[in-house]
Structure 1
Amino acid sequence: MNDNILCKFFSFILTISILLERSNNLKSWVKLKLNKQNFELEPIASDAGFRRYFRIRLQNNKTLVAMDASSPREDCRPFLKVADMMAEAGLRVPEVIFSDLKNGFLILTDLGKNTYLDIINENNADALFKKAIFALIKWQCATENNALPLYSEHLLRKELNLFKDWYLNKHLNLKIDQKSSVMLRELDEILIKNAKQQAQVFVHRDFMPRNIMADDNCPGIIDFQDAVIGPVTYDLVSLFRDAFLSWNEKKIDNWIQFYWESAKAKNIPVDGSFSNFKKQFNLMGVHRHLKILGIFARICYRDKKTKYLEDTPRFFNYLNTICDYYSELLPLNEFLYKIKDRENAMKR
């Protein structure tokens, strides 16, 4: 067994040991907070970050949710702040019952088992998305200056660099030539200008079906700790051009128009032209899709979660579709086909 394999093996054993210790500490803390009631902890599917979730099943069959945000990369304070803000805005979010910020433990109310991703289909999508749109508009209407961090130009550029640093350089080991480098710099300016010119509102920042809990009346909203003040179209892109399922363009157009008309009725300052608004939406989509490609590559190589890269073809399809609409994106489209050819060659 060579040194590299041994290193990976001991790293794996150490990780398992740390997770077991964290689980035991969490269980002890939950027991203390629940006055030593008997309960069971059931793992809930983890997200792409460093948080872990467990369903607490009590003896009376009632349930709560425990969150373990132990990593130095996680901080529970933004979660607590945004939960309060969303609740004040009239959104359905988990209520924080107990918290231990030092250790990164929270006990929350349970919004149920089914996300939109679990139940959505061609027959119920219109009804579900209308409820999600109304919830999003409530959130946007609550916007207050300086209440959340800004989706600044620095953050926008940092996100766009994820594609270059992690997808192109790390994943594809691609040396970018001068022509492509100029094209990508010019693209950055187009996308950042588009983001900054839009109305700036409260942004969930990951408002996708996986983060919306199904309910007959008001959908529940989760995973909101990264909320900022930013472009009005950003959360719409997350909702309709999802990481895990796709819809035809006609349906997306109808949903965008429904949002646009509903937002105007609530005096959200969206562009007065639907054509312009749709272009803002699509260019915001290019930004998010490139960012997600970079994030999925980073999750694979830094965090050793390889499954997310399996969904990258969906984002190339989104990008190709959008690029076909606008002449200024044709150079990007040509570049994307080249890197897809390189990726296919890597798989052979």
Structure 2
Amino acid sequence: MERIETIKNWLKNQLNQEFIMKSASSDASFRRYFRIIIGKKTYILMDAPPNLEKIKNFINITKKLAFYKINVPKIISFSDELGLVLMSDFGSQTFLDAIDNKNMSELYANAINSLLNIQEKVDIKRIKKYSETLLIKEMSLFPEWYLTKLKNNNLINQDDLNEIFLLISKKSLSQNTCFVHRDFHSRNLMLVSDKKLGILDYQDALCGPLSYDLVSLLKDAYIKWDEEFVIDQSVHYWEKARKIGLIKNQDFSEFYKNFEWIGVQRHLKILGIFSRLSIRDKKDQYLKDIPLVEKYLLDTSERYKDLYPLRKILDKVIS
């Protein structure tokens, strides 16, 4: 309650008029969001307690993306000290809410075009790079939280895992690099006016592998499409990326292999994160999404000989 009072007092000073504050959403971090209503106008308030979250990256990346005319929320006001950001409201219709079998091709084409626009325009010179150390650190959540704590399996050889992680990270870093959102998926894309996409949750952006955000979108932890659709959309991306110079001298089969390998890195991380959210943070709603992520990993590790050791580990813990 003390935190809520702090938020309300800050808003009173910023807005200088009566408002209604309603819960809007929370996410997989310690952040939460409120919808601020003033008559017919609405805003979003991001609450990021400064002892748990930092808003500096969000502010800086928002400014960078806005400079390139990427459709991100407009920041109205913020407090570094309190960890509060007041911003424009994209509404409540996520990409995940809106999509169905009739509009999926149109919406995914729209999302891919938005992604390509970001990758082509946004300067990455001053953005921190996705390093081998970070890629491996993220994958280490898989044995720590998924294997050991969720599946109660302590028998997996850590040296075997380290070898797999090193192989995946080196393959991932062999790709061309660009701006990487790191969570470009159906819950972080909003449908605003005229089917224009609004983009959220980009504060952890890095300079990293070209196909990272594409695999986040097409092999989404929250919604599954058949392989034919995923390949079709990947071809659509690859063709356009070649035209604008993001991809040079790389055929589609090699591109798709890179896409699948960075997907393995991401999905290992996600299994660890979802397990941690349940065990440590008591957010059990993420458990229902684990089987889809497991399926992505099983399918991909079956396709590539170098990933067979990972497949063997997965077979031991997935029933």
For normalisation by structure 2, the TM-score amounts to 0.96
State the match for 1:34 in structure 2. Answer: 15
What is the aligned counterpart of 2:86 among 79, 89, 107? 107
Instruction: Quote the Cα distance in structure 2 between the aligned partners of 1:73 and 1:131.
Output: 34
Displacement of 1:84 after TM fit? Answer: 1.1
Contact 1:68/1:106, CA 8 A, preserved across alignment: yes
Contact 2:238/2:247, CA 8 A, preserved across alignment: no
Residues matched between the structures, number: 318
State the match for 2:169 in structure 1. Answer: 192
Displacement of 1:142 after TM fit? Answer: 2.6
Instruction: Quote the Cα distance in structure 2 between the aligned partners of 1:176 and 1:148.
Output: 39
1:55 is aligned to 2:35: yes
For residues 42-82 of structure 1, the C-alpha deviation after alignment (integer angstroms, 9 at most, x for no partner) is 101200101110011112x1111111101523111100111
What is the aligned counterpart of 1:203 among 165, 168, 180? 180
Contact 1:201/1:230, CA 8 A, preserved across alignment: yes
* Deviating more after overlay: 219-228 vs 80-89: 80-89
1:289-308 matched pairs, under 5 angstroms: 289-308=267-286
SS at match of 1:197: coil
SS at match of 1:239: helix
Instruction: Quote the Cα distance in structure 2 between the aligned partners of 1:270 and 1:284.
Output: 19
What is the aligned counterpart of 1:273 among 227, 251, 255? 251
1:88 is aligned to 2:74: no
Residue identity matched to 1:298: R
1:19-30 matched pairs, under 5 angstroms: 20-30=1-11
1:24-173 matched pairs, under 5 angstroms: 24-35=5-16, 37-59=17-39, 61-173=40-152
The percentage of aligned residue pairs carrying the same residue is 40
Instruction: Quote the Cα distance in structure 2 between the aligned partners of 1:177 and 1:170.
Output: 13
1:246-325 matched pairs, under 5 angstroms: 246-269=224-247, 272-325=250-303
For residues 303-341 of structure 1, the C-alpha deviation after alignment (integer angstroms, 9 at most, x for no partner) is 221221221111111111112321222222222121113
For residues 62-112 of structure 1, the C-alpha deviation after alignment (integer angstroms, 9 at most, x for no partner) is 111111101523111100111111112221000100111100011100111
State the match for 2:221 in structure 1. Answer: 243
State the match for 2:153 in structure 1. Answer: 174
Displacement of 1:143 after TM fit? Answer: 4.0
Which structure: larger Rg? 1
Instruction: Quote the Cα distance in structure 1 between the aligned partners of 2:147 and 2:248.
Output: 34
For residues 213-232 of structure 1, the C-alpha deviation after alignment (integer angstroms, 9 at most, x for no partner) is 11324200000000000000
Contact 1:232/1:270, CA 8 A, preserved across alignment: no
* Deviating more after overlay: 21-30 vs 196-205: 21-30
Higher relative contact order (CA 8 A, sep 6+): 2
Instruction: Quote the Cα distance in structure 1 between the aligned partners of 2:249 and 2:205.
Output: 22
